[in-house]
Structure 1
Amino acid sequence: MMQQTINVMKERIQTRGLYQIVKEVSSFHRIQASGGFRAAANWCCDWLNSRGVQARVLHYPAPAGGYAGSYRLFQEWNCTAGWCRLAGPEGFVLADYSVEPISLIQKSCACDWREQTLDLVEMTEGCEEEAYEGWDLEGKVLFTHQHINKFSWAIQKRGALGIVSDYLNETPHVRIPEELLDALNYTSFWWEHTPGERQAFGFVVSPRTSLHLQKLCRQRRQAFEKGECESPYLALNAYVEATLENGTSEVVEAVLPGESEESVLVCAHLCHPCASANDNASGVAGAMTLMAAIHAAVEAGQLPPLKKTIRMILVPEFTGTYNYLNDGRDKTLYTAGINLDMIGAKQEDTTGPITVTGLPFAMPSFEGDLATLLLQELKQEVNSREDLLLQNVRTDAVPFGLGSDHFILSDPQVGIPSIMLGQWPDKYYHTNADTIERLDMNVLKFSTLLAAVYVYTLCDLHKRDARLILNHQCTRLMARMEAITRRAMLAHSDPRELAAQLGALKEFYTEAARRLCEQAGLEPAKPLARLNALLPGRVQWAEEGPVYRRLFGDPLESLEKRMLDEPDKLALVREYNRRHEAEPDKEMQEALCVYYIDGVRSCGRVADQVIAELGGGNKAMLLEYQRLLAGCGLLETVR
């Protein structure tokens, strides 16, 4: 059945159609909770309905400081104009929203300095407040070279009005500013909406413009020291026409009804600035296309009717998924999912393979094995030039990671085991250089084809396909055993640590195989015996400390934001973060820790299982983190 589905979807999914969707979607400036996002959502909804796919736009409140589950919401932002230019003889335009929307720091507040000038203060001493003792920043615009969040103190406590930022998010071995001299970094204020919060405006300049601006700032300071001018600062004019107010945030939902209300979920984030083609117009195009292709194939009798329902959501990243899962729907009806995030860039230079990101061990299931099996199955036969192009797409499989909406869905409390299909690294992500010219439609077709077959297979899981997945599970288990053992030998690890890592791996695959057999109607005894023969024995987890139960139903995107309305608890969180800010993989350790807290495992066992899954970690920090969550009222003690 799997190969038949592949052949049908190869015919139904066309590169030209994918291109047209990416072209349209990338033309919208799709900032979360904005009119631009809403316009893009409406376009996607209309496209789906025109192809016979039931679709609607869901509207959720976007209030200051509201919550969707454990996620803190923010207001709707709309902008119609914004620019910044140097005043006087040096004058040139630094940024213009009408020409390049990403040149405005998103969620900037309104300002009007068209007739009066502002001083531009270059922050030459880094980003720590202590380095600027005695500097007058009141009413000034800061020219900054680090992430804008590092200068929030200057806005909130020292009266700075705005920022001109040259920050470009560097990626080790992938990109540096010198290689992207004309790129603008996607930059946004993320207002906390707390009492007394001061808001600001800001603009983004490219590395090339920054070099010129730094030179002008240096020359002005030198001229001032010589008494040749009255101020050490360049002057600029700025104007932003924007509103920030309670509004709405949208999610596009599309449905292909099946015989059962049980559903497989397809997710892609629609947000980000114009153009943001790979991140993530590509994922949106893949999600929409697979829905239309499956619908058309079933209608034409090429594929049997769906046993389960397929639901697709196009969301503002994180925000929309939290809203969708907390609107009163029955999450137990969702049996599995896939998140499509960056799936179509040209595989050249440092742009990476199409990657299947697996499941966390706390959410054991077989979906990752199905997806990695499909990485191979899609390349089995070459009957055309297009097949050859698809066969040449580079692919990879990696363990669970954070960074996109699958991290929400795969939380055991949410209970929707969801892989991510993505692409990493990407040299141009989160910049205005992420344009449609960077995409390869054959790569995008490969990703869309894989996602379509994955989703349809999960809706109608045949015993033959299940047996193929079970065989593949054994292959993957052996490969991961070998990788873990090799890493432990090279690191001269304690044998007990190796045993814990292998034991955690076996627990995951045993439960994944059991779940697969249950869904496919297979007897599990033989598959489980085979797994046990490959990796005999089991780990005995030591129970240590209290047992906690979670009082929140989805993962913590940010504990600090969750505590913004409780100052005493917020202080504890910030002190904890300050002490552990240098801890490697801190966010991953904390996320997995939350996943494992289930009212049964002790806090010591939770920490041990996190460390076993990652192959390392900080047990003392993990124990402290659980005490912190309990102190914040997010956990209750079972015993």
Structure 2
Amino acid sequence: MIDLKDIFYEFSSRNALELIRKISGFHRAKGSLEYSKARGIIQNYLKNSTLLTFPMDKTYNTWQSPPSWNLNGGFLKYQNGKYIVSDLSLTPISAIFLSDKTDGVEKLEVFDVGKGETEEDYKNFEPGNAVLADGNPTLVYHYAIEKFNARCVLSYHMKAQDKSIGRTPNLLPDTINYTSFPSFKNKYAYGYALSYDQFQELREKLKKEKVYIEAFLDADQGTNTLEVLQENIGKDTDQPAIILTAHLCHPKPGANDNASGSALLSEVMRVLEKFQNHLNRKIIGLWVAEMYGTAAYLTTEFPKNAYVINLDMVGEDQFKTGSTLKLTPSPWAIPSFLGELLYVNLEYPAFRLSFERYSGGSDHYMFSDPNLGIPAVSLTNWPDRYYHSSDDTVDNCSKNTLDWIGKAVLKTIYDLDNMSQEVSAQVKGKIINNHFKLANVQSKLITNYVNYMTYLKLQQLSKYGDVEEELIEFFKEKIDFNLIPSQKRKIRKNIGPISDSWYNIEDIKWMNQIREKVPNFRDFLDVFLNVFELGFSKEEAILIAKAELGIEEDLKAEVEHYLQRLKEEKLIEM
């Protein structure tokens, strides 16, 4: 039997922090040479990892890989004037992702199109020039590039603004925000992401006079390969495998998002290598291009009896970034005690921690499929003052945070083979506490399903720790099994969630419009499909999905529209 203190002695948060420092020095666009170099840092750190490669011109489980993109360098300056961006090889985040190569140094006039999200914004624009816009980059691309034939976009767009943590343009005037053209981009375009100060300076100049720029950008296709680094340790047994995931992609620096997850996973796997002869299960580490790499991995042979823990933005100095560690549990369609176990191991008064409703947005979400049946949880510090920006640097990471989360993950793995009575009692208490938060006396359907989930969680927990049979029976007796479908249905043609790769511009506008009223509408659609595939009726699935995500709005018409679009795109069979 492994002694937990020996595992903790072996673990080094300093190692993880130094790995973040190395990885964050690379501009890790999907398919880029620097992504491969960052992957090489991790591969050299581990003993037995293997590289899986997937062509980027293919679709994996409905996820059409984005174009492979590799930035070599470039600049942006006022014509016969000062530099706006002096060297893209030093500040690559200033190039809009998926930008094309310029035809040498291009000289263009700049037109201020406001947000750039409607045709009216372009009434004074002259085709073949550059636009200055602060709207949604996908909509700006559609109008500026596709409809009005601009060549260049000069953008300022800060997502997830939050005054409570100091994340606003005025408070971060020199920050450059990660900006990308849409993955469905099919027309020539290049662009630059500007800081708020740079953007405002340009806008003020344009009020007084015509402005011309000189732009040079060098980019190519890079490797045209999705790289997934995999390490398998332990042994095949009848116990569920543990899959630990972290995405490696994102712009330089991307220290917390997500060099931190990749680095911490590397250190966790290094520690487990030392003790692998004592492991009673297979443990798999996966370093992926976010979502797309996991979608590709799911086309290979992988354990169907497994648990997943995803590490995404796990290095934050919470004092500096304003973050709270959010634990996202497995969705209701795949009930599991794993979230409660991990939460118990994370409870510590020196850090902010929250047990959340289910949400997607990272690689745990790729396992969200009741026909797959793999519970997947995720850890993410959110919100983050420096999210997706040039300020997401290693000095905003914390060795203490890495130590806290790394040891909690290791202890969770340890507990699955060596659970003490104290831990099982704490997990049991957390399951019951969550039960009473979720039970809805006004809805027999919801209360019954919550009783069913609690029963399943306690039953699962009893395989690892002490759970009174009377307690399991107590919740079982509260279940009306006539309200629980006895047979699942399969309507999606893929494994995992259905991507949005098929969206056209009208779908994007539709989605954005609804998300203004229901911010987690995208998650709702995934949860609805999960519950519907459990065998519930359409109406029941809508009610359960709304309860799971805390949504009150009537979404029946939106569900019908979404299902119709999925049928039109031949993504489901009903």
TM-score, scaled to structure 1? 0.82
Whichever of the two has the greater Rg, that structure is 1
Give the deviation of 1:524 after TM superposition.
7.6
Contact in 1 for aligned 2:452/2:476 (Cα 8 Å): no
Which letter does structure 1 place at the counterpart of 2:366?
A: I
Give the deviation of 1:97 after TM superposition.
0.6
Residue in 2 aligned with 1:21? 19
Residue in 2 aligned with 1:106? 97
Aligned to 1:553, the other structure's residue is in SS state coil
Is 1:338 aligned to residue 273 of structure 2? no
Residue in 1 aligned with 2:32? 34
Residue in 1 aligned with 2:376? 418
Give the deviation of 1:521 after TM superposition.
8.7
Is 1:82 aligned to residue 77 of structure 2? no
Which letter does structure 1 place at the counterpart of 2:335?
A: P
1:145 equivalent among 128, 134, 145: 134
Q: State the alpha-carbon separation in 1 of the partners of residues 79 and 184 from structure 2.
A: 33
Q: State the alpha-carbon separation in 1 of the partners of residues 201 and 503 from structure 2.
A: 42
1:318 equivalent among 291, 303, 310: 291
2:499 equivalent among 546, 551, 557: 557
Range that drifts further, 281-290 or 592-601: 592-601
2:539 equivalent among 604, 626, 638: 604
Residue in 2 aligned with 1:290? 268
Contact in 2 for aligned 1:354/1:422 (Cα 8 Å): yes
Residue in 1 aligned with 2:425? 471
1:167 equivalent among 157, 178, 190: 157
Q: State the alpha-carbon separation in 1 of the partners of residues 524 and 235 from structure 2.
A: 38
Aligned to 1:83, the other structure's residue is in SS state strand
Give the deviation of 1:16 after TM superposition.
2.1
Q: State the alpha-carbon separation in 2 of the partners of residues 134 and 277 from structure 1.
A: 41
Residue in 2 aligned with 1:55? 49
Pair 30,481 (structure 1): closer, same or farther in 2 beyond 3 Å: same
Give the deviation of 1:624 after TM superposition.
4.1
2:332 equivalent among 351, 361, 365: 361
Give the deviation of 1:122 after TM superposition.
1.2
Residue in 2 aligned with 1:132? 121
Q: State the alpha-carbon separation in 2 of the partners of residues 296 and 417 from structure 1.
A: 27
Give the deviation of 1:278 after TM superposition.
0.9
Which letter does structure 2 place at the counterpart of 1:529?
A: E
Q: State the alpha-carbon separation in 2 of the partners of residues 43 and 480 from structure 1.
A: 41
Give the deviation of 1:523 after TM superposition.
8.3
Contact in 2 for aligned 1:272/1:280 (Cα 8 Å): yes
Pair 537,211 (structure 1): closer, same or farther in 2 beyond 3 Å: same
Q: State the alpha-carbon separation in 2 of the partners of residues 297 and 356 from structure 1.
A: 27
1:496 equivalent among 442, 450, 469: 442
Give the deviation of 1:354 after TM superposition.
2.5
Q: State the alpha-carbon separation in 2 of the partners of residues 614 and 191 from structure 1.
A: 28
Q: State the alpha-carbon separation in 2 of the partners of residues 349 and 292 from structure 1.
A: 29
Pair 444,234 (structure 1): closer, same or farther in 2 beyond 3 Å: same
Q: State the alpha-carbon separation in 2 of the partners of residues 624 and 587 from structure 1.
A: 14
Q: State the alpha-carbon separation in 1 of the partners of residues 135 and 560 from structure 2.
A: 33
Alignment of 1:433-512 (within 5 A): 433-458=391-416, 460=417, 462=418, 464-465=419-420, 468=422, 470-484=424-438, 496-497=442-443, 499-512=444-457
Alignment of 1:534-553 (within 5 A): 536=478, 538=480, 541=483, 549-553=491-495
> How big is each residue's C-alpha offset from its partner over 1:268-327, in whole Å with a ceiling of 9 and x where there is no partner?
01111111111111111110111111222456xxxxx11101100011110110011113
Aligned to 1:177, the other structure's residue is in SS state coil
Contact in 1 for aligned 2:67/2:98 (Cα 8 Å): no
Give the deviation of 1:238 after TM superposition.
0.6
Contact in 2 for aligned 1:28/1:39 (Cα 8 Å): yes
Contact in 2 for aligned 1:608/1:619 (Cα 8 Å): no
Give the deviation of 1:473 after TM superposition.
4.4
Q: State the alpha-carbon separation in 1 of the partners of residues 367 and 67 from structure 2.
A: 24
Q: State the alpha-carbon separation in 2 of the partners of residues 278 and 212 from structure 1.
A: 30
Contact in 2 for aligned 1:254/1:313 (Cα 8 Å): yes
Q: State the alpha-carbon separation in 1 of the partners of residues 465 and 480 from structure 2.
A: 26
Pair 477,540 (structure 1): closer, same or farther in 2 beyond 3 Å: farther
> How big is each residue's C-alpha offset from its partner over 1:338-377, in whole Å with a ceiling of 9 and x where there is no partner?
000011111215522223211110011111111012124x
Segments of structure 2 that go 5 or more residues without pairing to the other structure are none
Q: State the alpha-carbon separation in 2 of the partners of residues 295 and 578 from structure 1.
A: 45
> How big is each residue's C-alpha offset from its partner over 1:221-243, in whole Å with a ceiling of 9 and x where there is no partner?
xxxxxxxxxxxx30111111111
Is 1:234 aligned to residue 211 of structure 2? yes
Residue in 2 aligned with 1:276? 254
> How big is each residue's C-alpha offset from its partner over 1:506-559, in whole Å with a ceiling of 9 and x where there is no partner?
222211222333x439788434124458xx45597599xx9763322220131x
Residue in 1 aligned with 2:88? 97
Which letter does structure 2 place at the counterpart of 1:395?
A: L
> How big is each residue's C-alpha offset from its partner over 1:389-416, in whole Å with a ceiling of 9 and x where there is no partner?
xx62332222211211111123223332
Is 1:250 aligned to residue 227 of structure 2? yes
Pair 450,298 (structure 1): closer, same or farther in 2 beyond 3 Å: same
Range that drifts further, 366-375 or 579-588: 579-588
TM-score, scaled to structure 2? 0.91
Contact in 1 for aligned 2:321/2:386 (Cα 8 Å): no
**C-alpha root-mean-square deviation of aligned residues, in Å?**
2.8
Segments of structure 1 that go 5 or more residues without pairing to the other structure are 221-232, 300-304, 380-390, 489-494, 565-569
Aligned to 1:178, the other structure's residue is in SS state coil
Pair 288,139 (structure 1): closer, same or farther in 2 beyond 3 Å: same
Residue in 2 aligned with 1:388? none
Q: State the alpha-carbon separation in 2 of the partners of residues 143 and 619 from structure 1.
A: 36
Pair 510,154 (structure 1): closer, same or farther in 2 beyond 3 Å: same
Q: State the alpha-carbon separation in 1 of the partners of residues 534 and 436 from structure 2.
A: 33
Residue in 2 aligned with 1:177? 169
Which letter does structure 1 place at the counterpart of 2:88?
A: Y
Pair 550,182 (structure 1): closer, same or farther in 2 beyond 3 Å: same
Contact in 2 for aligned 1:118/1:236 (Cα 8 Å): yes
Pair 141,362 (structure 1): closer, same or farther in 2 beyond 3 Å: same
Contact in 2 for aligned 1:42/1:57 (Cα 8 Å): no
Which letter does structure 2 place at the counterpart of 1:183?
A: T
Give the deviation of 1:335 after TM superposition.
1.1
Residue in 1 aligned with 2:43? 45
> How big is each residue's C-alpha offset from its partner over 1:417-456, in whole Å with a ceiling of 9 and x where there is no partner?
1111121111101001011111110111111111122234
Contact in 2 for aligned 1:359/1:399 (Cα 8 Å): no
Give the deviation of 1:23 after TM superposition.
1.2
Which letter does structure 2 place at the counterpart of 1:84?
A: L
Give the deviation of 1:628 after TM superposition.
3.9
